[in-house]
């Protein structure tokens, strides 16, 4: 089944170029195009999709929309900036990949497939910046807790984690409760961001492609 994708970008020529690129891939289907953030709700409600390509500079509030949009589809951010700060913020808000526009032709398809496989994808500069901000609390997790964090960050429910690790669901819940307390984390979204920063889940490096 093809990866269904909505493309949100206000630049017509750039958008048309990406659509032409993605049409060459048999496992990726662009199901809709949007040129305004305000139109996303209606389009996503009417058009089932797996991923959203969101231009970070599309409108001044597009960054603020990421947490809500990330509950509807996996968000891949397109950005024209070279600064890692906006990329880090987007990942912490729930984006699953960051692709710089000037490298989009080379790396966009790789990023889409990486996200479809449960990975997070970002340029090396953003990876390095996130590692520098890594919390020392990582050293306090047991190996079992780290395994559970990794599974949760990949989107697994407690029942799926239990099955994967041959544990009871109650044991998984107990471990997660301990993890939340140790890391002073409130929910699964924050736990995913922690897993990215600490290297517990795979972040695909574009240089390895």
Encode pLDDT of 76-126 as tens digits.
Answer: 999 888 778 888 888 878 899 999 888 888 889 999 998 998 888 888 777
User: Band of the pLDDT at 207, cuts 50, 70, 90?
Assistant: very low
Q: Answer whether 11's CB lies under 8 Å from 55's CB.
A: yes
pLDDT of residue 204: 52
**Domains assigned to the chain:** 3-131 (3.40.50.2300), 136-198 (1.10.10.10)
The pTM of the full predicted model, rounded to 2 decimals, is 0.68
Residue 113: both structure tokens together:
């497939």
For residue 131, what pLDDT is reported?
61
The string of DSSP letters for 15-84 reads HHHHHHHHTT-TTEEEEEEES-GGGHHHHHHHS--SEEEEETTSSTTTGGGHHHHTTTSEEEEEE----H
| DSSP bridge pairs for 53 | 7, 76
Quote the mean pLDDT of the chain: 84
DSSP state of 2: P
- Give 208's pLDDT tier (boundaries 50, 70, 90): very low
The rounded distance, in Å, linking the Cα atoms of 99 and 17 is 15
């Amino acid at each position: 089944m093809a990866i269904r994708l909505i493309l949100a970008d206000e630049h017509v020529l750039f958008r048309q170029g990406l659509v032409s690129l993605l049409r060459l891939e048999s496992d990726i289907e662009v199901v809709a195009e949007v040129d305004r953030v305000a139109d996303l709700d209606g389009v996503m409600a009417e058009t089932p999709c797996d991923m959203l390509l969101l231009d970070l500079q599309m409108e001044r509030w597009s960054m603020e929309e990421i947490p809500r949009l990330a509950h509807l589809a996996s968000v891949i951010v397109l950005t024209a900036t070279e600064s890692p700060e906006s990329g880090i913020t987007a990942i912490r808000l729930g984006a699953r990949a960051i692709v710089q526009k000037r490298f989009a032709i080379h790396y966009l398809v790789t990023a889409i497939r990486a996200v479809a496989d449960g990975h997070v994808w970002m340029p090396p500069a953003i990876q390095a910046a996130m590692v520098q901000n890594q919390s020392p609390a990582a050293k306090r997790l047991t190996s079992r807790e780290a395994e559970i964090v990794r599974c949760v960050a990949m989107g697994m429910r407690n029942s799926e984690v239990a099955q994967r690790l041959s544990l009871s669901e109650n044991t998984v819940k107990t471990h997660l409760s301990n993890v939340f307390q140790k890391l002073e984390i409130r929910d699964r979204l924050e736990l995913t961001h922690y897993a990215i920063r600490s290297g517990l889940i795979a972040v695909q490096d574009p240089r390895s492609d």
